[in-house]
Amino acid sequence: MDHASTSSPASHEMGETKMSSVQLAEADLKHRPDAIAPRYPIPSNDPNDPLNWSAPAKITTYATICLFSFIANVNGSNFTVAILPLIKHFHITATRATWLVGFNVLMFGLGNILWVPLMRVVGKRPVYLLALAVFVAANAWSTKAETYGSLLGGRMVAGFGASAADATVPSAVAEMFFVDQRGHCMMFFHFALATGIFLGPLINAYVVELHSWRWSCGWLACAGAVVFVLAFFFIREPQYYRERRQWSDEQIPAKRSYAGWLSLTLGYNNDRPLQRFATTFWDILRMATYPPIFWVGCLVGLFVGWTIVIQVTVSQTFVKPPYKWKLGEVGNFSISGWIGTILSFYFGGKLIDLISNRARRHDHTIKPKPEKRLIALVLPFVLAPVGLIIFGECMAHKTKWIGQAFGYAMHSFGFVAVSNIAVTFAVDCYQGYAGEALVIVFVIRNIIALVCSFYSNHWIQEDGLSKVFGTMAGLQWALLLLAVPMYFLCKPILAMTSKYGPMKRGIQNE
């Protein structure tokens, strides 16, 4: 079946064309179960449709965005290994030193409340370039900060600039890739994100040890400038406003040249831009009341927050007796977390596509069934909380580092797999509003991460590592178990959320 046979040229309204295309394709599948299902979303015959881009165009655009995500998350973890040098330099407590991490992480989530509405007006390419410029300037500012307050301000602005490489990315993936590719493609984003979280402390530990904490910001300013140049030349505008249908020969636009893709106005939507900005902002707030979005935010937030707690605990514990490690050696410990990330690449990415695509073929439908992706949570449910318990017990009893490394790898495996599975589930639930939905997910995620970084030191001092990490493992199991009712009640929940908020206006870009 070709794409042309799945569309209805006679339909004139956007919604009718989309629905008729899907309905015709699914009716054909029911009558001919052996027919090859069309990919979804059904693309237009416009050569400039991101779904129709060449493989090199998609790869260079997405790889550059993922590189920005990597640098953004290195930025978020750059001071987790510099707690003690910061305490000595500014004469502050450990709690105030962790604020430099916590408030950076908070702005990393809150920043998208501005970036995503702006993206809906001016497009993604200008947002990425502007955010990178802010990121570079803020890290240069942090490098020269002379007071604690100035450094805290610089870290918050750096987190704001870095945030554009977070919630906007799943929306770009939804524009460029088909549903049957989405889990695998989203895993590259989460791999870049996790690599920044886990290898960031490794890089920054050696930078701080060999130079100073200032250069952990300085090299990020240089790296951000390099990514800015790459973004200018390689990120195409993935925002697509035209109706996806088969246009007549006279209506098909000419294929855009490479120079044409460098324009900063391709994504601009001049249809009441201020109202669109305000509407998107309001949509973001209302989507916080959608149960799947709120649950995904809490689930991912707990994993991110406790990953930061592990990093801070490691940086404060391994430099003291009986370990007496240098900062560079502390950074090496992060490799265990990255190994967990690599092992999760298939189980959190390709596997969820296989499960989802099999369900679509079985039900003779081309639309995704979001709840099918949740089946893949079984493995991280078994491994991740157990890894926390192993880490906490080994750290509490000051065993050799291999036990902590093993537990950290297990938890990191679960963290990356859970993040990709849950976020892809959210994107499938609300594809037309993926950017708005993920803003709430990441705001909730980062608020939880902030709370964990603020209160973990006091909690550990009061109750001890063993009890604290055991409690956190229990909380992770509890949130993961909520996937069961989410799986069985997904259809009625989505029907309920279609009656209010942005979903009431109808799904976009299907």
Interval 202-253: pLDDT, tens:
888 888 888 888 999 999 999 999 999 999 999 999 988 887 788 888 888 8
Rounded CA-CA distance 86/52 in Å is 50
Residue whose C-alpha is closest to residue 494's, from 441, 435, 431: 431
Residue whose C-alpha is closest to residue 484's, from 365, 384, 381, 332: 381
Q: Which two tokens stand for residue 109?
A: 């989530």
* 53-240+271-502: CATH superfamily: MFS general substrate transporter like domains (1.20.1250.20)
Residue whose C-alpha is closest to residue 419's, from 298, 314, 309, 288: 298
CA distances from 277 to 269, 337, 340, 436 (A): 10, 39, 40, 12
Asked if 156 and 409 count as a contact pair (C-beta separation under 8 A), the reply is no
Rounded CA-CA distance 481/99 in Å is 32
Rounded CA-CA distance 398/473 in Å is 20
Q: What is the pLDDT of residue 141?
A: 95
Whether omega before 322 lies within 30 degrees of 0, making that bond cis, reads yes
Q: What is the pLDDT of residue 3?
A: 38
HEC readout, 228-244: HHHHHHHCCCCCCCCCC
Rounded CA-CA distance 89/148 in Å is 9
Q: Which two tokens stand for residue 230?
A: 């790459």
Identity (one letter) of the amino acid at 326? K
Q: Where are the domains of the chain?
A: 53-240+271-502
Residue whose C-alpha is closest to residue 67's, from 2, 119, 132: 132
Q: 138: how many CB neighbours lie within 10 A of its CB?
A: 27
Residue whose C-alpha is closest to residue 5's, from 302, 288, 366: 366
Q: Within 13 Å of residue 230, how many CA atoms lie on the same side as its CB?
A: 15
Q: What is the pLDDT of residue 140?
A: 96
Q: Which two tokens stand for residue 373?
A: 């992706």
What sign for the dihedral angle of Cα 240, 245, 251, 257? Answer: positive
Q: What is the pLDDT of residue 7?
A: 36
371 secondary structure, DSSP code:
G
The residue ranges of the chain whose pLDDT is under 50 are 1-20, 507-510
Asked if 170 and 435 count as a contact pair (C-beta separation under 8 A), the reply is yes
Tokens 């029907």 sit on residue: 495
pTM: 0.80
Whether omega before 170 lies within 30 degrees of 0, making that bond cis, reads no
Asked if 66 and 173 count as a contact pair (C-beta separation under 8 A), the reply is no
Counting every residue, how long is the chain? 510
